[in-house]
Amino acid sequence: MNRSGLWCAVALLMTCKTTGEVAPSSSPDTIHLTIVGTNDVHGWVMAQLEKFPQGDIRFGGVATFAAYLKILRDGNPGGVVLLDGGDLFQGTLMSNVTEGAVVIDAFNLLNYDAAAIGNHEFDYGPIGAVSAVQVGMDAFGALRARIAQAKFPLLSTNIYEAASGLRPAWLPGDGTTLIERKGVKIGIIGLTTPQTPTTTLPINVASLKFKALPAEAITAAARLRARGADVVIAAIHAGGKCIDNQHHQDTSSCDTDSGEVFEMMRNVPPGTLDAIVAGHTHAQMSHFVNGTPIIESWALGRYFGLIDLHLDPKTKKIITDKTEIKSGLEICETYDAATESCEVKKLRQRADDVKPVRAHFRGKPVVSDIEVAAALEPAQRQVAELQNRDLGISLPETLGRNYENESALGSFLADSLRAMCRADVAMLNPGGLRADLKKGPLKYGAVYEVLPFDNAVATLDVTGEQLQRLLDAAYGSKKGVFQISGLEVKLARCPLANRLREVSVNGHALEANSHYRVVMPDFLARGGDGLAPVLATIEPRQVDLGENRGSNLRDELVSWWQAQKPSITAPKPGRVAFLTDGSECSAATKVDAHLGVP
């Protein structure tokens, strides 16, 4: 997820260094447990590389992470618990071609103890090429296969069948598991964000109900305590974000109003959960909330977090003042000698001075695991040719994304989509853009990283009144700033969400009774990212979900670019503007008055 410019700059300055990390003090008088947490890997099991004048910085990937785990396990034999906060799949060509199988193979080798089921675990839908479930297909076929493949439980205690109210037959158990470390019984709970129906293809989860997190956490923790659990940990695919992650008791820099994990903890009695590994927001936090230590790190297989617990050996109770937490620890195979960091965004600012050397963690060299790397090779070979296919197009400049504002990448993609479909308007959800498009020869793999979701191209024939309601819902959904083409909008940043204040179509006023052709990913046309209430009022005959096009949005754009050879440069900015007058949050929308919309 992108941050706004200021947030990103501050957050990068607050990043923890892996090498500066020292082992927590141990005592023969306590039982020491180390909880290692990852989240939002999104298929990024391979290491990544950034070239600098003096050498390469290599970072991320499970083979390198295995080296960190070995150091941690050697430092606390028998005392490490490895958990993931969900969204294991969906995001890379290697993951998507195997429908997540390569990720499970890697996690099996790393000996994960459990992982939460994230919203993107439902993206693949049935086994095979079709992602959006159709009549007669198993909507959970791909996920069911991954659950069977995993040697660790994929957990969620708050998923139910909407019709019966019962647990789904394809999801074994009650969403919890019980393990033991150093004689301590540890209960683990999995939880999935109730936002899932709006953050995956809605049709894939239409038969499910995702119940509220607090009540499910309380009930599941009670069940585990009744089974003898001394410690209860939650792996939750729901998170928050904080800027200051050095002062763990101070949440003043955290988004406590909209963060799901904060909302949950406000409604969970102290002592219900002893630790939480969170995810979903692709942000960092390492804080005590309502007395419970919570960690979440940034995404894409490049970071991890730690919670060190110390227990009284007689009572098996946690000694709270000895608990230590850290998040955002970088996974580096090589890093810059001066900064001991592999954070590429920071290093690019001093590229000529970057001197890559082998990374160290807790005083030991980081040596990638050969066995794990070898296990990934078959999947890597399977996609290498497709990944490196040259599209015959070159980018004169990098096109970047921005979750919180208009972006060069978003505008270019929206312009391409609108021109390709000869539409009046194009809309893209910012969460669907997962990487920047880098300068230089364009390879298919790079486009895949930007647009990993197999969305179809959907078109809508809507009135001006309906379009305005769609835009109101889009910009007020807390899902970032939608990327657009054919529109100019003015927004107000309000306490709860952005609000649309002015809109025009291709330089002209939006007319209530005129008809507009709108193109968007079928994820949105099916009701994703907050559009469902408005789409429910639009006649089905006005919506073409693109099911008969025989391709997906990404591949259609690639074919169109190759045929048209457009100039892949940053479009002129200015289609999204923010009003600075605070009264705009309470004033009537100017376009509302024009259309007569309440």
Following DSSP, what letter does each residue of 232-257 receive, concatenated? EEEEEE----BS--S-TT--TTB-TT
Alpha-carbon distance of 333 to 65, in angstroms, equals: 9
What secondary structure does DSSP assign to 166-213, as a single string?
SPPTTS-SSSEEEEEETTEEEEEEEEE-TTHHHHS-GGGGTTEEE--H
Alpha-carbon distance of 405 to 395, in angstroms, equals: 22
pLDDT tens digits, 211-254: 999 999 999 999 999 999 999 999 999 999 999 999 999 999 99
Average pLDDT, integer, range 77-98: 96
Longest dimension (CA), the chain: 76
End-to-end CA distance of the chain: 33
Closest Cα to residue 269, out of 214, 335, 216, 343?
A: 214
Answer yes or no: are the C-beta atoms of 210 and 202 closer than 8 Å. Answer: no
pLDDT(37) > 80: yes
Alpha-carbon distance of 235 to 83, in angstroms, equals: 7
Average pLDDT, integer, range 584-596: 48
pLDDT tens digits, 515-564: 999 999 999 999 999 999 999 999 999 999 998 898 999 999 999 999 99
Residue pointed to by tokens 């007319």: 511
Would you state the pLDDT for residue 597? Answer: 32
pLDDT(116) > 60: yes
Alpha-carbon distance of 309 to 377, in angstroms, equals: 37
pLDDT(121) > 70: yes
Answer yes or no: are the C-beta atoms of 465 and 444 closer than 8 Å. Answer: no
Question: DSSP 3-state assignment of 450?
Answer: helix
Percentage, residues of the chain above pLDDT 70: 93
- Right CATH for 388-595 from 3.10.129.10, 3.90.1300.10, 1.10.10.10, 3.90.780.10: 3.90.780.10
User: What's the whole-number average pLDDT of the chain?
Assistant: 92
Cα angle at 268 between 11 and 193, to 5 degrees?
60
437 to each of 12, 474, 572, how far by Cα in Å?
Answer: 21, 24, 17
Alpha-carbon distance of 382 to 94, in angstroms, equals: 8
Alpha-carbon distance of 425 to 486, in angstroms, equals: 5
Would you state the pLDDT for residue 568? Answer: 87
Average pLDDT, integer, range 2-30: 52
Provide the token pair at 180.
């033991």
Q: What are phi and psi of 467, to 5 degrees?
A: -65, -40
pLDDT tens digits, 142-166: 999 999 999 999 999 999 999 999 9
Alpha-carbon distance of 432 to 424, in angstroms, equals: 21
Specify whether domain 28-363 bears CATH 3.60.21.10. yes
pLDDT tens digits, 263-307: 999 999 999 999 999 999 999 999 999 999 999 999 999 999 999
CB atoms closer than 10 angstroms to residue 306: 23
Average pLDDT, integer, range 336-364: 96
pLDDT(25) > 90: no
The pTM of the full predicted model, rounded to 2 decimals, is 0.88
Q: Show Cβ contacts of residue 377 under 8 Å, excluding neighbours closer than 6 positions.
A: none
For residue 522, give the H/E element and its range: helix 522-525
Average pLDDT, integer, range 93-98: 94
200 to each of 203, 278, 322, 420, how far by Cα in Å?
Answer: 9, 19, 40, 25
Amino acid, single-letter form, for residue 481 = V
* Stretch among 169-178, 339-348, 484-493, 560-569 having the lowest mean pLDDT: 560-569
Sequence spans of domains, the chain: 28-363, 388-595
116 beta partners: 155
pLDDT(193) > 90: yes
- 291 burial via Cβ count (<10 Å: 0-12, 13-18, 19+): middle
Closest Cα to residue 529, out of 198, 75, 122?
A: 198
Cα angle at 80 between 77 and 83, to 5 degrees?
160
pLDDT(209) > 90: yes
Percentage, residues of the chain above pLDDT 90: 86
Q: Show Cβ contacts of residue 371 under 8 Å, excluding neighbours closer than 6 positions.
A: 109
